[in-house]
């Protein structure tokens, strides 16, 4: 079986979200292993087989990350995200009351 752990998984933040994200990319690539050409690289004199991750794999992982990893990929902690949402709602309501454009 080819090795798809070419990108080193490093920890980013308290939850190791970067490691989880890279794992998701690997999983998507792994699903396509039989449709990909197996590459070989020599590591310390030993040949190691791998498949390359494609941009499509990364795009698929990005779409799945919000669902699978959910809030853990959010840069804001939950209280900050809640506060930001409340501020957005307040600004939207005031814009509507004053007939001002809002996004």
Asked if residue 69 has pLDDT above 80, the reply is no
- The pLDDT value given to residue 43: 93
DSSP class of residue 54 equals P
Q: What pLDDT, in 10s, does the model give residues 9-45?
A: 444 444 567 788 888 899 999 998 888 899 999 999 9
Q: Which residues have CB under 8 Å from 48's CB, separation 6+?
A: 3, 40, 41, 42
Percent of the chain whose predicted confidence (pLDDT) is above 90: 22
- The pLDDT value given to residue 55: 92
User: What is the value of pTM for the model shown?
Assistant: 0.52
What would the mean pLDDT of 53-63 be, rounded to a whole number?
90
């Amino acid at each position: 079986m080819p090795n798809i752990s070419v990108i080193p998984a490093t920890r980013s933040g308290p939850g190791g979200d970067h490691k989880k994200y890279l794992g998701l990319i690997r999983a998507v690539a792994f699903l396509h292993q039989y449709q990909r050409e197996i590459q070989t690289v020599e590591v310390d004199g030993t040949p190691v087989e791998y498949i390359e991750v494609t941009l499509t794999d990364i795009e698929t992982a990005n779409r799945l990350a919000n669902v699978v990893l959910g809030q853990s990929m959010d840069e804001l902690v939950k209280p900050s995200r809640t506060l930001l949402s409340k501020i957005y709602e307040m600004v939207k309501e005031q814009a509507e009351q004053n007939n001002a454009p809002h996004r």
